[in-house]
């Protein structure tokens, strides 16, 4: 099968593209040419497409493909319109955050309300419209929804709700972490390799994947307190937890909504549908994926 990947040289793509090659697919990676070809034998078999800055959808349409994996969605609707007659299966990367504040845990692929962040809301609206168009056009359309992406290759979530290397260094020194009293929120670090698995399994099972949204992630999540304990274990230090009121936490400690959402709302995807329909099986636990991410940071001399 001829598979085109937009964003194939990124974090998820670094795991996804070699797996697609191993499965025997002809793989094209659309890139702006800002990153060199990754190392490895699998990448020697990959065709890199340097996409022009203008009229990108038309350029991609000229290439043609059986399946398109769009990880970045820079022009998702325009790309769909340009390729809908030349591609049988569109696979889109979303986020569990796009479904709105979860009402149940673990969280299924159900829209619970407006997304917590405007950017996620816009992407969800576009996803729904693309689903509608694909049904109209008789084209297979699938979305993969990961939680907090982790693993080697990217600085992971830290206990201030961001991906700040200075906060990770503070964790490594054993500096205190502040949480609000009663905070028992679930956090779901998910290895990028497991996210990639969701995409290649959708490619391998187009009939089962058509028209569906699939959560991917670890088999379980950790509480915020367990996350602090995990950082303590990984770094070999005792990280104290300071408790404050919820009001003080959101007003003074972590006023940014994008950051404090990680501690106000659970992030624990229900992956049963992906398991049942696609054969998805996560390889990594939250503990192992965070350990892999921290080891990568050490190797990169970030810590």
SS (H, E, C) 164-226: CHHHHHHHHHCCCEEEECCCCCEECEEEHHHHHHHHHHHHHCHHHHCCCEEECCCCCCEEHHH
Q: How far apart (Å, rounded) are the C-alpha atoms in residues 303 and 294?
A: 8
Q: What pLDDT does 55 receive?
A: 87
Looking at residues 85-112, what average pLDDT do you find?
95
Domain contains 248 = no
Q: What pLDDT does 108 receive?
A: 98
Q: What pLDDT does 297 receive?
A: 98
Tell me the pLDDT tens digit for each residue of 2-54. Answer: 999 999 999 999 999 999 999 999 999 998 877 788 889 999 999 999 998 88
Domain contains 56 = yes
Other Cβ atoms less than 10 A from the Cβ of 227: the count is 25
Domain contains 302 = no
**Domain range for 11:** 2-149+190-217+268-282
Confidence class of residue 259 from pLDDT cuts 50, 70 and 90? very high
Confidence class of residue 150 from pLDDT cuts 50, 70 and 90? very high
Domain contains 66 = yes
Q: What pLDDT does 74 receive?
A: 85
Computed over every residue of the chain, the mean pLDDT equals 96
Domain contains 292 = no
Domain contains 194 = yes
Looking at residues 186-203, what average pLDDT do you find?
98
Q: What pLDDT does 34 receive?
A: 78
Tell me the pLDDT tens digit for each residue of 221-250. Answer: 999 999 999 999 999 999 999 999 999 999
Q: What CATH code is carried by the domain that includes residue 12?
A: 3.40.50.720
Please compute, for residue 30, the number of CA atoms within 13 A of its CA located in the half-sphere on the CB side. 27
Peptide bond into 106 cis (omega under 30): yes
Q: How far is CA 122 from the centre of its chain?
A: 17
Residue from 270, 248, 255 nearest 186 by CA: 270
Domain contains 239 = no
| H-helix or E-strand spanning residue 264 | helix 257-264
Looking at residues 202-220, what average pLDDT do you find?
97
Percent of the chain with pLDDT over 70: 100
Provide the pairing of β-strand 186-187 with 222-223.
Answer: antiparallel
Domain contains 79 = yes
Per the structure, the count of domains in the chain is 1
């Amino acid at each position: 099968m001829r598979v085109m990947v937009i964003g194939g040289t990124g974090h998820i793509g670094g795991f996804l593209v070699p797996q697609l090659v191993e499965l025997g697919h002809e793989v094209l990676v659309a890139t702006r040419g800002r990153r060199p070809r990754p190392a490895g034998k699998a990448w020697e078999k990959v065709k890199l497409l340097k996409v022009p800055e203008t009229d990108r959808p038309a350029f991609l349409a000229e290439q043609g493909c059986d399946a398109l994996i769009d990880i970045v969605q820079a022009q998702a609707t325009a790309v769909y319109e340009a390729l809908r007659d030349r591609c049988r299966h569109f696979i889109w990367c979303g986020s569990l955050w796009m479904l709105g504040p979860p009402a149940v845990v673990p969280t299924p692929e159900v829209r619970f309300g407006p997304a917590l962040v405007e950017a996620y809301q816009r992407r969800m609206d576009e996803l729904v419209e693309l689903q509608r168009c694909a049904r109209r056009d008789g084209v297979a359309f699938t979305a993969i929804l990961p939680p907090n992406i982790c693993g080697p290759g990217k600085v992971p979530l830290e206990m201030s709700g961001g991906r700040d290397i200075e906060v990770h260094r503070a964790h490594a020194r054993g500096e205190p972490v502040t949480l609000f009293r009663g905070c028992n929120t679930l956090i779901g670090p998910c290895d990028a390799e497991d996210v990639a698995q969701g995409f290649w399994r959708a490619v391998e099972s187009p009939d089962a994947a058509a028209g569906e949204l699939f959560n991917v992630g670890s088999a379980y999540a950790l509480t915020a307190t367990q996350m602090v304990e995990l950082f303590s274990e990984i770094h070999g230090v005792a990280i104290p937890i300071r408790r404050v009121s919820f009001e003080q936490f959101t007003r003074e400690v972590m006023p940014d909504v994008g950051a404090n959402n990680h501690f106000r709302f659970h992030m624990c995807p229900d992956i049963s549908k992906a398991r049942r329909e696609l054969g998805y099986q996560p390889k990594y636990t939250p503990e192992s994926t965070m350990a892999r991410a921290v080891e990568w940071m050490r190797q990169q001399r970030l810590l």
